[in-house]
Amino acid sequence: MTIELNKLKRKPCKYWLMLFDKDDKLNVHQAFIEHGQQYDWLYKYSDYDLIGWQVENNCFNWWKYSWILAKYCSNKFDPEKYNWKTFSDYVVVNCPKHFDSALYHWELFSWAIATNCPDKLDVKLYNWEMDSRFIAHYCPQYFDPKKYNWKQDSPSVAQYCSNLLDPKLFNWEEGSWAVARYCSHLLDSELYNWWKDSWKVAVYCPDKLDPKLYNWEKDSWAVARHCPYLLDPKLYNWEKYTRDVELFCPHLLPLKPKTL
């Protein structure tokens, strides 16, 4: 396929300009093979339909460039030739009308269904192990507590669909911080990971702070900065975080034990 320089909406870089002949013409099909594809540039700055031409002339590289056909030339889509294994996500993003549940690569690209066309989501084929969080975020109507990967994606439930949070299944060890930040009304002090995420409570929901469970050793600074009215002078880590009291609540300095 030959293109003409004067018919481009924008001149290419110097390297590609040098490939045009004396008549300002270029066999773009051959050039892409020898010098690397520039489909995005060609379709953005010209009206040439190289992909359509390649398909019609049976010289399109379906295995390598299926994604670009889905993006710019979906009218030439062929489900039997398309590289579903590598580029399934481009179909649901650019031309969902060509979606085929039986051919789609659910293992790698389940997330793309949830984020772009949840109406095509099949809960039996969906990759819950890897992509559960996208269900919680984009289409909680398909949420299944038995299939959901609570171990890995508990925070997404707290953030996007807290009404579906099951405290018995929730991963409190790793996701406690998300409850404190996004749905503190569900915070269970007995299940909460106070050792790792105490400071999140001080920052986002100090009304839930339990001084007996709070990690004063590591997170005293957060109380001084965000809820000094909860500061317990007997529990506060003065040795390490006196500076925070000096900066954010100096009126509490008299409470500092004289032995320190």
Instruction: Give residue-wise pLDDT tens across range 213-231.
Output: 999 999 999 999 999 999 9
- Does residue 210 sit in the same domain as residue 109? yes
Give SS3 for 67.
helix
Residues 119 and 150 in one domain: yes
Cβ-defined contacts of 86-91 (< 8 Å, 24+): 88/112, 90/66
> What's phi and psi for 103, nearest 5 deg?
-100, -20
**Residues 119 and 135 placed together within one structural domain of the fold:** yes
Q: Is residue 169 part of a domain?
A: yes
Single-letter residue type at 48: Y
177 within a domain of the structure (yes/no): yes
Whether residue 202 is found in the same domain as residue 245: no
pLDDT, mean of residues 101-118: 98
The string of pLDDT tens digits covering residues 59-84 is 999 999 999 999 999 999 999 999 99
2 close to 51: Cβ distance less than 8 angstroms:
no
Q: Are residues 173 and 252 in the same domain?
A: no
Q: What is the pLDDT of residue 260?
A: 63
Q: Cα separation of 149 and 143, whole Å?
A: 11
pTM: 0.89
Looking at the structure, do residues 145 and 234 belong to the same domain, yes or no?
no
Q: Are residues 195 and 242 in the same domain?
A: no
Whether residue 141 is contained in a domain is answered as yes
* Dist CA 84 CA 109 (whole Å): 10
Q: Give the C-alpha separation, 70 to 81, whole Å.
A: 12
- Looking at the structure of the chain, the number of domains it has is 2
Domain that holds residue 168: 105-214
Examine the domain organization and report whether 202 and 117 are in the same domain: yes
Answer whether residue 22 is part of any domain. Answer: no
Residue 219 burial by Cβ neighbours in a 10 Å radius (0-12, 13-18, 19+): buried
182-187 long-range contacts (CB < 8 A, ≥24 apart) are 182/158, 183/158, 184/208, 186/158, 186/162
Q: Are residues 155 and 204 in the same domain?
A: yes
